[in-house]
Amino acid sequence: MLIKAIIFAGEQGDLELTRTSTGAHVTQDHEVIADFIWTDSRETRYEKATDVATRLYGRDRRGRAKATNSMIHDVLNEIERVMGR
């Protein structure tokens, strides 16, 4: 099964995850939030997934994503699933 797009219901609006020829990108209100490329390292993709998780779950008092590491890994796994990995 090939998944080409997923829509997440974020705290401040919907986020759309769409497959591209080089990986995937996340948009909110037609603005690209993050661009995930196959050649990026896992750490780079995790950092970008943290930014996406911040948009999904909001920020805590310290300005960090209001999400656990496990939640951020779940976001990254879904992104990689759309990328086709």
The sheet carrying 5-10 orders its strands as 5-10, 13-19, 23-28, 31-37
Spans of all domains in the chain: 5-83
Q: For 16-32, how does the pLDDT look when each residue is reduced to its tens digit (9 = 90+)?
A: 999 999 999 999 999 99
How far is 66 from 54, CA to CA, in rounded Å?
Answer: 7
Angstrom distance (rounded) from CA 45 to CA 72: 11
Helix (H, G, I), strand (E, B) or coil at 61: coil
**pLDDT per position as a tens digit, 32-63:** 999 999 999 999 999 999 999 999 999 999 98
